[in-house]
Amino acid sequence: MLDRLRAVRQDHPVDFFRGFLDRPKEVGSVIPSSRFLERRVVRAADLAEARVVVELGPGTGGSTRALLKAMPKAATLLAIEINPDFARLLREKNRDPRLVVHEGSAEQIREALAAHGLLGADVIVSGIPFSTMPPLLGRGIIEEVHAALSPGGRFVAYQVRDKVHELGVPVFGRARVQTELRNVPPMRVYRWERRAQL
């Protein structure tokens, strides 16, 4: 039983670190997220009634497993990963039928949803590092997130720096922000909601 639990918590830290070294601007940290950060992100995402969840930059899958554990049985998780090695690991290590791994860019969320026969997202969770990308790209991703969310949908981003908030305010307004200190490095968790259309 203990070995099984260890296997479930295995986040492939060597592969994660190698991914950071190969593509430091695409990987938000040198090690995977802590279980404390995963729990805080899951709470912020409020997945109890979600039907379609999108994860941007799932890395080696620690946060992916946490999201799947909290999601309803009938929901779908679309994990969009730009790193082909991480995408391969996600497919190999996560056999949950609710998981769909899409190799591509966060700039094309609606395209990825359509490719897999999914409509608007109820929740979008992002760990991609907005602070290391060109501002124009970051703003484009935020606008794509907003367009891909269903009215009333939630966007949750966990970040070391506050660049995502700076980019998100013109599109979503001010976020609700929490800090998780039990992570290396400590992370801020931002949550926005797309206002329902009148």
Q: What is the mean pLDDT of residues 18-34?
A: 54
80-113 pLDDT tens trace = 999 999 999 999 998 999 999 999 999 999 999 9
**129 is a domain residue:** yes
Establish if 98 belongs to a structural domain: yes
Amino acid 197: pLDDT: 64
34 domain residue, yes or no: yes
pLDDT at position 51 is 98
- In-domain check, residue 65: yes
Q: Residue 32 — pLDDT band, cuts 50, 70, 90?
A: confident
Find the mean pLDDT for residues 12-39: 60
The mean pLDDT value of the chain amounts to 88
Residue 171 lies in a domain: yes
User: Which pTM was predicted?
Assistant: 0.85
Q: Mean pLDDT throughout 72-80?
A: 98
| 22 has pLDDT over 70 | no
Which contacts (CB < 8 Å, 24+ apart) does range 7-15 have?
A: 8/65, 9/35, 11/60, 11/61, 11/62, 12/60, 12/61, 12/89, 12/93, 13/60, 15/60, 15/85, 15/86, 15/89
Q: pLDDT (tens digit, 9 = 90+) per residue, 133-143?
A: 999 999 999 99
What is the average pLDDT across 48-73?
A: 96
Query: Residue 76 is part of which domain span?
Result: 2-193
Please indicate, yes or no, if residue 55 is contained in any of the structural domains.
yes
Are residues 52 and 120 in contact, defined by beta-carbon separation less than 8 angstroms? yes
Q: Is the per-residue pLDDT at 28 higher than 70?
A: no
Mean pLDDT of 73-85: 97
Burial of 135 (0-12, 13-18, 19+ CB in 10 A): exposed
User: Predicted confidence band at 196 (pLDDT cuts at 50, 70, 90)?
Assistant: confident
Residue 126 near residue 157 (C-beta atoms within 8 A): yes
Residue with more model confidence, 24 or 128:
128
High-pLDDT (> 70) share of the chain, %: 84
- Whether residue 65 is predicted with pLDDT greater than 60 in this model: the reply is yes
Asked if the structure places residue 198 within a domain, the reply is no
Domains: count for the chain: 1
Q: What is the CATH number of the domain that holds 112?
A: 3.40.50.150
